[in-house]
């Protein structure tokens, strides 16, 4: 049996509902909105809690089932917790333009992007700290390791990595100095860091 992602099932179901009777679909949206508004007004809290638990259970199943593909094997429960917090903090922004469960799924995508960004920045910080540690640099230079790591980079990446890591520029200040778009330099910098990291891991 072919596995169909939850969001595809949801999209298809809404399309079918709209074909049969648009009022049915819109009615469900408005019902979810009404439940949220009642909760925010401290009314009928039980209905909202049931709706929230149902939505989060679907998200938990999706994250757990796809945790390997998403690269969150050890983090999916933490991400689920973050999603729950964001949903509660941003509940007032729900306008009923979709089902509540679809809106929560959108929050999940935002939480995943934030998780990936945080994980990447942490990795880059650790690598930068490692490469800029004075004693380690001296040791790497003595063993010609630093030269070996930089050899996997192209000329642009070597220039940007040296400017940012060894000369103290930020991406923004370097972009201003050499009159290049910040986004292009950011991509070059990240690409260079990834190559160095891969080289270090294979040594």
Mean predicted lDDT score pLDDT of the chain: 75
pLDDT for the residue numbered 144: 58
Is 126 within a domain? no
Where a domain ends, among 65, 97, 121? 121
Q: Clarify whether residues 111 and 54 are in a common domain.
A: yes
Task: Flag whether pLDDT at 99 surpasses 60.
Answer: yes
**193 pLDDT tier (thresholds 50, 70, 90):** confident
Task: Flag whether pLDDT at 24 surpasses 50.
Answer: no
Where a domain ends, among 78, 101, 121? 121
Where a domain ends, among 121, 150, 175? 121
* Residues contacting 84, CB < 8 A, separation 6+: 56
- Contact 128/165 with Cβ under 8 angstroms? yes
Q: Clarify whether residues 154 and 107 are in a common domain.
A: no
Q: Clarify whether residues 22 and 98 are in a common domain.
A: yes
Is 95 within a domain? yes
- Contact 80/63 with Cβ under 8 angstroms? yes
Q: How many domains does the chain have?
A: 2
pLDDT for the residue numbered 70: 79
- Rounded to whole angstroms, the Cα distance separating 20 from 25 reads 9
- Rounded to whole angstroms, the Cα distance separating 26 from 17 reads 9
Per DSSP, the chain holds a count of helices (H) and strands (E) of 11, 0
> Global pTM?
0.49
pLDDT for the residue numbered 13: 59
**145 pLDDT tier (thresholds 50, 70, 90):** low
pLDDT for the residue numbered 133: 53
Write out pLDDT tens, residues 125-139.
666 665 555 455 455
pLDDT for the residue numbered 140: 46
Name the token pair of 170: 């930020």
Least trusted range by pLDDT, from 34-43, 120-129, 161-170 = 120-129
Least trusted range by pLDDT, from 14-28, 40-54, 97-111 = 14-28
């Amino acid at each position: 049996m072919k596995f169909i992602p939850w969001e595809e099932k949801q999209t298809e179901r809404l399309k079918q509902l709209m074909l049969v009777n648009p009022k049915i679909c819109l009615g469900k949206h408005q019902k979810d909105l009404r439940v949220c508004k009642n909760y925010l007004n401290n009314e009928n809290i039980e209905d909202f809690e049931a709706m929230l638990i149902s939505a989060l259970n679907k998200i938990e199943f999706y994250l757990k089932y796809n945790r390997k593909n998403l690269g969150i094997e050890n983090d999916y429960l933490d991400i689920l917790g973050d999603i729950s917090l964001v949903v509660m903090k941003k509940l007032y922004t729900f306008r009923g333009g979709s089902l509540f469960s679809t809106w929560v799924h959108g929050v999940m995508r935002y939480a995943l992007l934030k998780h990936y960004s945080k994980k990447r920045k942490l990795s880059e910080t650790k690598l930068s700290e490692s490469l800029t540690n004075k004693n380690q640099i001296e040791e790497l230079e003595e063993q010609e390791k630093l030269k070996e790591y930089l050899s996997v980079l192209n000329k642009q990446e070597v220039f940007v990595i040296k400017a940012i890591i060894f000369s103290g520029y930020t991406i923004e200040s370097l972009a201003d100095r050499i009159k290049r778009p910040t986004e292009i330099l950011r991509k070059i910098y990240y690409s260079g860091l990834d190559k160095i990291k891969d080289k270090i891991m294979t040594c």
